[in-house]
Amino acid sequence: MAEFEELSACEATLEMLRKAKEEGQETAFDRVEQQKGCAFGEAGSCCRICNMGPCRINPKKPEESRGVCGATMDTIVARNFARMVCGGASAHSDHGRAVAETLILAAKGEAKDYEIKDRIKLLEVAADLGVEIGDREINDIALEVGERCLAMFGQQEGELAFAQRAPEPRKEIWRQLGVFPRGIDREVVELMHRTSIGVDQDYENILMACARTALADGWGGSMIGTELQDILFQTPVPLEAKINLGVLKEDEVNIIVHGHEPILSEMIVLAASLPEMQEKAKAVGAKGINLAGICCTANEVLTRHGIPVAGNVLQQELALLTGAVEAMVVDVQCVYQGIGQIASCLHTDIITTSPKAKMPYARHIEFHEDHALDIAKEIVSAAIENFPKRGKVRIPDVQESLIAGFNHEYINYMLGGRFRASYRPLNDGVIDGRIRGVVGVVGCNNPRVKHDDIHVRVVKELIANGCLVVMTGCAAQSVAKAGLMLPEVAREICPQGLWEICEAVGIPPVLHCGSCVDNSRILIACTAMVHEGGLGDDISELPVAGCAPEWMSEKAIAIGEYFVASGVYTVFGVKWPTMGSKNVTDFLFKKYGELFKNTWDFEPDPEKMVGKILSHIDSKREALGIMAKRERVLFDMAMRRELEI
């Protein structure tokens, strides 16, 4: 194992890694050393989609060899990239489908523990989907919204309804390029088909289909997930909470919710708060029940309930090593199989809940929406029963506060209150240069780079250069742990203009916008910036950018792809999966710029990454003619008459 300090920028993480070493426990940080990585895999040039292979093309001499079927380097790399897009889009979309199904059950009264918590959002979504509102019962509207959303998965032709929210020029680009997504499942299935043996062997054609599939995620599956979760569980509003392993409590039953879907975790939150459960906990000698989150489930319950975050995805094993976790309740995505191994040495139960996701060393308590609370109580009870079995506990005394819960709706509100809600102050801030640009920093953790470190350095550098940062996923948690998601830091780390904005509104310079499925919120926010006016007619004209400095999941590729196809310049770090093919990489890094008006990019070095982002933002500012300080225009009567009323 490398020097400890080189492994993570997070103190709590280092402390637990030392403990792991002392106790001979293995974590992802150790396994990454064992898995040196295969050169062909890294180049994206290993093809094993048929039984004639596996075929490997030497990245150093791509012209010299082909697959058994004759597939070139370009084709193989494009196909592998496409399958990452499919994997990622499937993950978000299957998540979205589950939410739609829950909404339908709730609307029908068949999932009694769920209800419509955000009626305003329901009506807004209904209006966007063309669902009649009139004086219909709220549950009728919800049912139709749920059914319409569910139908988007099986939709075979036409244009995806949520994608209609995009700015007109963007939709026109999609239409002209033939990538306007039809149905969510259709795009994934078709791309899987096209990348199977002997189908689509034109890398450009495959990469265009990638855009279509990814758009079906961003403006489809993911958006359905986010929008319907808001309807069922309330659109988040900013609140204060705590983060890092120090949120675990020595004298309480600690339950960690981990994974992605709030359908389950919402019920655990409810169950844990019930007096009967609290009593039960006290009966076994605990002072209460302490719920904490890991990964994106953490973000869901954080932004809606202020439930503390124990850590991000790379901390899941470390949280268990505290010995203080009675149960880690997991559903889907990013759940390391390694946690089962560690839990098997401890009193901790890993409780799997989804029929889609089981694992060794875990106890399976299957979750069903129709008696959700009962199951949640069973899970909480199981955790409580473990409390007396606890061994030695060591919880790092490390935690930080953060403000979380931003999203399109709240940004709109926070800039003008109920009566003047709008993006005007944000756009004005960008136009007059107080805000140089807005950057989405998203994604996972990856032990191939120093944990949290790249995120924190990128974000600090962006802020120091006047960018407002919006974050989701595990990336958001990295930065929150570093204390950057507190409003008072604005004064210390922002340049004057950005500080004035933060101070006027009362925000930190980094806005926590939720989980990875919530990246769709950023699409909506970008669209709102376009509609507010003064920053061009399309997302591609905005001085904005996206990046994922520590990404690891296929979902990140799907997200990046839908951002680029929506017109956002997007830079990824760590490693880039198409390096084996210059043509494929050039297509994504250059040709996409002609087609989608912005491109993918790759840069593992945080300073250079920020440099690329800033020069992109400045080029957009230049094009918009907002590089110079905005002149104060004084209005005479004739000019006032021209103003919109």
Partner 1 sequence: MSRIIAAAAIKGAHKEVAEAERMLAETKEAVGATAKVEFPNTGYYLPIIYALTGIPVQKLEDMDKVLEYAKDLLPPVPKQRHWVPYLGHALDAGVATLFAGEIIEGCKYATNPPVDDLWLGAADDVIMRERGVEFVDGTAPGFCALVGRASTPEMADRIVVELLEKNLYVWISGHVDGVSIAEQLQQVDRQLGWDTRIVPYGKEMSSAVYSLGFAARAAMSFGGAQPGDFKKVLRYNKNRIFAFVLALDYVDEQKYAYAAGAINYGFPTIANTPIPDILPTGVCTYEHVVGGVPEEEIVQKCVEVRGLKIQITEIPIPMAYGPAFEGEVIRKDDMYVQFGGNITPAFEYVRMREMDEVTDGKIEVVGPEIDDVEEGGALPLGIVVEVAGRKMQEDFESILERQIHHLINGAEGIWHMGQRDIVWTRISKKAQAKGFKIRHYGEIIHAKLLNDFPSIVDKVQVTIYTNLEDVEKWLAIARQAYRYRDEKTAGMTDESVDTFYSCTLCQSFAPTHVCIISPERLGLCGAYNWLDGKAAYEIDPTGPNQPVKKGDVEDPVKGVWPSINEFVKEKSGGNTQRVTMYSMMEDPMTSCGCFECIVAFLPMCNGVMIVNREHKGMTPCGMTFSTLANSVGGGQQTPGFIGIGKVYITSKKFISADGGFQRIVWMPKELKETLKEQLQKRCEEIGDPDFINKIADEDVGTTEEEILPWLEQVGHPALTMEPMLM
Shortest spacing between CB 634 and partner 1, in angstroms: 4
Q: Which of these ranges, 32-40, 172-180, 233-241, 316-324, lies near partner 1 under the rule CB under 8 A?
A: 233-241
Shortest spacing between CB 505 and partner 1, in angstroms: 4
What is the maximal distance between C-alpha atoms in the chain? 79
Using CB under 8 A as the binding rule, whether residue 168 contacts partner 1 is answered as: no
**Enclosing H/E stretch for 284:** none
- Between β-strands 289-294 and 600-602, what pairing exists: parallel, antiparallel or unpaired? unpaired
- CB 532 within 8 Å of CB 427: yes
- Which are the contacts of 372, defined by CB distance < 8 A and separation ≥ 6? 111, 113, 114, 263, 264, 267
Which is nearest to 232 in space by CA: 185, 267, 274, 283?
267
Using CB under 8 A as the binding rule, whether residue 631 contacts partner 1 is answered as: no
Shortest spacing between CB 508 and partner 1, in angstroms: 9
Shortest spacing between CB 398 and partner 1, in angstroms: 17
Q: In the numeric block, which tokens belong to residue 584? A: 């494929």
Q: Which of these ranges, 25-33, 335-343, 366-374, 499-507, lies near partner 1 under the rule CB under 8 A?
A: 499-507
Which is nearest to 192 in space by CA: 308, 90, 97, 117?
90
Which is nearest to 85 in space by CA: 222, 259, 201?
222
Question: Which of positions 103-162 make contact with partner 1 (CB under 8 A)?
Answer: none
Give 217 or 409: the residue with its C-beta nearer to partner 1. 409
Give 224 or 411: the residue with its C-beta nearer to partner 1. 411
Give 628 or 643: the residue with its C-beta nearer to partner 1. 643
Shortest spacing between CB 480 and partner 1, in angstroms: 12
Using CB under 8 A as the binding rule, whether residue 573 contacts partner 1 is answered as: no
Give 476 or 588: the residue with its C-beta nearer to partner 1. 476
Q: 236 by DSSP, 3-state: which?
A: coil
Using CB under 8 A as the binding rule, whether residue 501 contacts partner 1 is answered as: yes
How far apart are alpha carbons 411 and 409 in whole angstroms? 6
Give 27 or 299: the residue with its C-beta nearer to partner 1. 299
Shortest spacing between CB 454 and partner 1, in angstroms: 26
Using CB under 8 A as the binding rule, whether residue 514 contacts partner 1 is answered as: no
Give 389 or 635: the residue with its C-beta nearer to partner 1. 635
Using CB under 8 A as the binding rule, whether residue 640 contacts partner 1 is answered as: yes
Give 628 or 634: the residue with its C-beta nearer to partner 1. 634
Q: In the numeric block, which tokens belong to residue 61? A: 């001499």
Shortest spacing between CB 497 and partner 1, in angstroms: 8
**What is the per-residue DSSP string for 536-555?**
-SSGGGSSEEEEETT--SHH
Q: What 3 state SS string does 439-463 have?
A: EEECCCCCCCCCECHHHHHHHHHHH
Shortest spacing between CB 624 and partner 1, in angstroms: 17
**Enclosing H/E stretch for 118:** none
Shortest spacing between CB 521 and partner 1, in angstroms: 16
User: What φ, ψ does residue 439 adopt, rounded to 5°?
Assistant: -125, 130
Q: In the numeric block, which tokens belong to residue 307? A: 């439930």
Using CB under 8 A as the binding rule, whether residue 535 contacts partner 1 is answered as: no
How far apart are alpha carbons 92 and 518 in whole angstroms? 10
Tell me which residue has tokens 């020029």: 169
Using CB under 8 A as the binding rule, whether residue 54 contacts partner 1 is answered as: no
Q: Which of these ranges, 74-82, 293-301, 613-621, 633-641, lies near partner 1 under the rule CB under 8 A?
A: 633-641
Which is nearest to 475 in space by CA: 488, 465, 484?
484
Give 37 or 506: the residue with its C-beta nearer to partner 1. 506
Question: Which of positions 467-496 make contact with partner 1 (CB under 8 A)?
Answer: 486-488
Which is nearest to 3 in space by CA: 16, 14, 19?
14
Give 141 or 404: the residue with its C-beta nearer to partner 1. 404
Which is nearest to 67 in space by CA: 40, 46, 81, 43?
46
Using CB under 8 A as the binding rule, whether residue 629 contacts partner 1 is answered as: no
> Which one of 239, 345, 393, 579 is in contact with partner 1 (CB under 8 A)?
239
First to last CA, the chain: 65
Per-residue contact flags (x/-) with partner 1 for residues 394 to 433, judged by CB under 8 A: -------x-x------x--xxxxxxxxxx-xxxxxx--x-
Radius of gyration of the chain (CA): 24
β-bridge partners, 188:
none
Give 433 or 593: the residue with its C-beta nearer to partner 1. 433
Binding site for partner 1 (CB under 8 A): 237-240, 401, 403, 410, 413-422, 424-429, 432, 434, 486-488, 500-501, 503-507, 632-637, 639-641, 643-645
